[in-house]
Each structure stands twice: as structure tokens, then as C-alpha cells.
Amino acid sequence: MHETFYDVMRRQGITRRSFLKYCSLAAGALGLSPAFAPQIAEAMETKPRIPVLWLHGLECTCCSESFIRSAHPLAKDVILSMISLDYDDTIMAAAGDQAEAIIEETIKKYDGNFILAVEGNAPLDEDGMYCIIAGKPFVEQLRHVAEHAKAIISWGSCASWGCVQAARPNPTRATPTHKVPNMPDKPIIKVPGCPPISEVMTAVITYMLTFEKMPSLDNQGRPKMFYSQRIHDKCYRRPHFDAGQFVEEFDDEGAKKGYCLYKVGCKGPTTYNACSTVRWNGGLSFPIQAGHPCIGCSEDGFWDKGGFYDRLTDVKGFGIEANADEIGTTAAAIVGGAAAIHAGVSVVKRIAQKGDDA
């Protein structure tokens, strides 16, 4: 018989009490009512644990770093024991051929029944040559494993949108999971962020394992429970925004008083993520709380939206970089100037014409 999650946890020395506590916390994190805690517990006690293959393409490992820091007291132990992270080249013990063999073994044993977690993305230029795993382009490994997976999790902004390696001009044509050509048709869940919040990552996995289905997703494929509101909607500095109290410079009085960071480029109003509610490092803080504007790291193409410290985005393609107001005032000045000149000429013409008529 397969080991259940619960068996594994008990084996790891987690008490039943701690286990039940985890189940109710998980229900909370998932936005489910406490009544779901027993359901989670039951699922964990009876279901065989599901293997996860965690592949790495072009990435910086910040997703893994975030994941293993899940500060939820038990998540670290629970999640790591709960999913059998059969293959994760950053944290597994095996190396070389041995490591690669695990992939084939998992595919054979759990064909169509394991979860593929993708961190990073695949560069497509030069036949994928810019990211080689075990002597082969990453994109091939990705397609191959996806073929046999039950579902795919795109961890972080790399796998979800492209992130820094896909920023203009995207020299290697780094491509997020859902846009890789010839990918087998598998459900993909995006968990964007650079990195995503660890509690969000663990909660997503917990949900998929206990309910054996995807959490409900928005039309861009992100789990609704964590990505349906903007940072700005739940930001604790929001009252200062509504009042019109802004940090104008990082060392001014407003900065000391914790005013809103909108004018120093905060992207909270355009960023969907849970930072202002779940926060980071066990709910300790998040960028805005530390006095820094949100840079919008969970949004598509956030590297290409102008400076992190500018509220308005620079628009390229006008010869020089300019924001909407600079372009607009120039256009309005030209139109206004043209109207003034036209008016002047009209008057002169009219006078001349009158002269002719006389």
C-alpha cells in the first residue's frame, strides 16, 4: 500500500495535534471555512501522497528559496514530507545520471498522476540551446515531462509570464510555460510573483493534493483566492492615498510618517497579489510596510513598465522615452499652436480678402 501524507508526517515526528492544527490553518489560508479542516485531515490520512516533479528552466531559484522558507510553523515539514519532491535539482540529494533517472522512474510509476511544477522558463531561440539540462535543451525536458503529468504549476513570474529573462528585447526568446509551442494539453495553474509568497505556494499545493483538483482560477489562470485583489485594495497605507498624503521623496516627512508610496512609483494599484494580506516571512512585513513602493513583480512584463519609481509608464517608440503626459502635452501644444497659427493666418486672409472686395 502507498504511504499516506499522514503516515509520512507521523514518521517525521509530527504529533497528531500539530497535524490537526496544520489542517485548520491550511483551511484558513485557502479561504475555506473551518468546517473544511476535518476534510483536509481526512484526505491527508487516507490519500496516497502525490509525487511532484519540480523542473528548473531559466530562473534564479528565488521560488525555491521562498518555498522552503514557508514560515508557517509546520508547512516546511508538512509540505516537504507531504509531496514527494522526487525531482528538484536544487534540493534533492541525488545528482547526475542518478538524478535524471528519477524523472523516468516517476513517469513510469505515476504516469498521468504526478504534478509537474515548473520554476523558470524555456528559451526557444537557437533550438533552446540557452538552457541545457543534462545535455539536452530544457524545453525538451519540459515537454516530455508535461506529456505524462496530471497538471502543471507555473511557479513564479518566470514560468507564468516570462519575467526578467523575457524583458525587452528578450534575447533568448524566453517563453512562459503556457506559451511554449507543442506543449501537451494539460491544465496549467499560474502562481506569479518574483518570488511568489511561500504561504501561497504551499496553500496551492495543499489544495491540489487534498481536493485532487485545481483551485478555482481566474481567466488568466491564477488561483482566485490569492490573486483576485490588488495590493492597493488591502494596503494598510490606503487611507493616506485617499487623503492625498504621499511620500514625495524617500527622506521626507511623509516617508517617516508612513504615507502612501504612490508618487514614488508604487505599483500596488495595478498589481494582483496577496502581499498586503498574507505578507512575507510569516506575516512579518512586506515591501510597502518596509517603506518601499511595490514594483509589481507578479504582473506580466513588470520589467518593461518604465522605472520602478515612476508612477507613469514610459512609452517607447516616440524617438525618445516619454510618459503619457509628456507625449500628450507635446501633442496638445502642437494642436494648440497649429490652431493659433491657423487663426492668425485666417485673420490676415480675411483682412486681405476684405481689401479685395472693397
Partner 1 sequence: MSIVEKHKEEAVYVYQAPIRIWHWVQAFAIFALCITGYLIGSPLPSVGGEAYDYYIMGYIRWIHFVSAYLVIVGFVFRVYWAFVGNVHAKQIFLPPFWQIHWWAEVWHEIKWYAMIVKEPKKYTGHNPLAVITMHIMYVWGTLFMIVTGLALYGEGTGPGTWQHSWFSTWVIPLFGQSQDVHTWHHLGMWVIICFVITHIYVAVREDIMSRQSIISSMISGWRMFKDDRPADDQH
What is the contact surface with ligand SF4 in residues (CB under 6 A)? 231-232, 235, 237-238, 241, 260-262, 266, 268-269, 288, 294
Q: Give the shortest CB-354-to-ligand SF4 separation in angstroms.
A: 59
**Nearest residue (beta carbon) to ligand HEM:** 269
Exposed/middle/buried for 219, CB within 10 Å: 0-12, 13-18, 19+?
exposed
Contact letters for ligand HEM, residues 312-341 (x by CB under 6 A): x-----------------------------
Answer for which of 269, 291, 301, 306 binds ligand HEM (CB under 6 A) is 269
Which of partner 1, ligand HEM, ligand SF4, none interacts with 51 (beta carbon under 5 to 8 A by kind)? none
Which of ligand SF4, partner 1, ligand HEM, none interacts with 346 (beta carbon under 5 to 8 A by kind)? partner 1
Answer for which of 154, 202, 271, 273 binds partner 1 (CB under 8 A) is 271
Q: Give the shortest CB-269-to-ligand HEM separation in angstroms.
A: 5
Query: How many of the other CB atoms lie within 10 Å of CB of 306?
Result: 16
Contact letters for partner 1, residues 298-317 (x by CB under 8 A): -xxxx--x-----xxx-x--
Query: How many of the other CB atoms lie within 10 Å of CB of 135?
Result: 6
Q: Give the shortest CB-71-to-partner 1 separation in angstroms.
A: 28
Contact letters for partner 1, residues 251-270 (x by CB under 8 A): --xx--x-x--xx---x-xx
Q: Give the shortest CB-150-to-ligand SF4 separation in angstroms.
A: 37
Answer for which of 246, 280, 286, 303 binds partner 1 (CB under 8 A) is 246
Contact positions vs partner 1 (CB under 8 A)? 218-220, 224, 228-230, 233, 239-248, 253-254, 257, 259, 262-263, 267, 269-272, 296, 299-302, 305, 311-313, 315, 324-325, 327-329, 331-332, 335-336, 339, 342-343, 345-346, 349-350, 353-354, 357
Name the residues that contact ligand HEM, by CB under 6 A. 269, 312
